[in-house]
Amino acid sequence: MITESALSENTASWRKRVGAGDYLIERIAAGHVMRILDLEGNQAADTLFFNADHPAERYSATDTIREQGGVYLTAGSILRSNENRPMLEIVADTCGRHDTLGGACATESNTVRYDLEKRCMHACRDSWMLAIAEHPEFGIHKRDISHNINFFMNVPVTEAGKLSFEDGISAPGKYVEFKALMDTVVLISNCPQLNNPCNGYNPTPIEVLVWQAVPERKTA
């Protein structure tokens, strides 16, 4: 569902550019709003979410899909944890839908899907492993890496029940925005995949913006 944000980029608390194949790991306080901006279009952002105080609680595709009764994510979707608790809500989305079934690229899957020579190509799981190794302060370990969301990625489910990686439906300037419902660690791999059309065979940068919580108005 296409829903535009009422927030201005000029009022963001901070903004960071994430290069193609790079990662971002940040703590987002409950009530804060985060936007992932597809700068050049057709770029997948493979994203993990963790309870900032208890990383063993993390985003669950299974719980999210079951509770919302649909396989795609868009404005209004509640992202749920493996304890079936609401973690974040997608509050704005100008792309239309996002994948949470296709998983993330890895050296192993590159080898199986494409060619033995592709095994050494950089992959999203490499970026996640590097992020948690370089930032032990978040308390995230390899065992905590589980379900992810592929923001902007187009993975249709065929009539036979299979997944198909297709050309992206995003475009330059498209974004997805979510509100944290608990203190959350966000870990993004800006996908380096070159072997399928999820990045248009040309990975490009994204930008991440965060707004602090806006106090609710009290009525008399």
How confident is the model at residue 162, as a pLDDT?
67
Residues of the chain above pLDDT 90, percent = 72
Q: What's the whole-model pTM score? A: 0.89
Parse the chain into domains and list their residue ranges.
19-211
Instruction: List pLDDT tens digits, range 126-157.
Output: 999 999 999 999 999 999 999 999 999 887 67
Distance spanning both ends of the chain, measured CA to CA: 35
Instruction: List pLDDT tens digits, range 53-75.
Output: 999 999 999 999 999 999 999 99
Residue 198 to residue 192: CA distance in whole angstroms: 10
Residue 174 to residue 24: CA distance in whole angstroms: 19
What are the E-state strand segments in 29-85?
Answer: 33-38, 45-51, 72-73, 78-80
**Which residues on adjacent β-strands are paired with residue 73?**
98
Determine the 3-state secondary structure of 39 from DSSP.
Answer: coil
Tell whether the model's pLDDT for residue 201 goes beyond 90: no
Higher pLDDT, 105 or 206: 206
How confident is the model at residue 218, as a pLDDT?
42
Nearest 10 degrees: Cα torsion 116, 118, 120, 126: -120
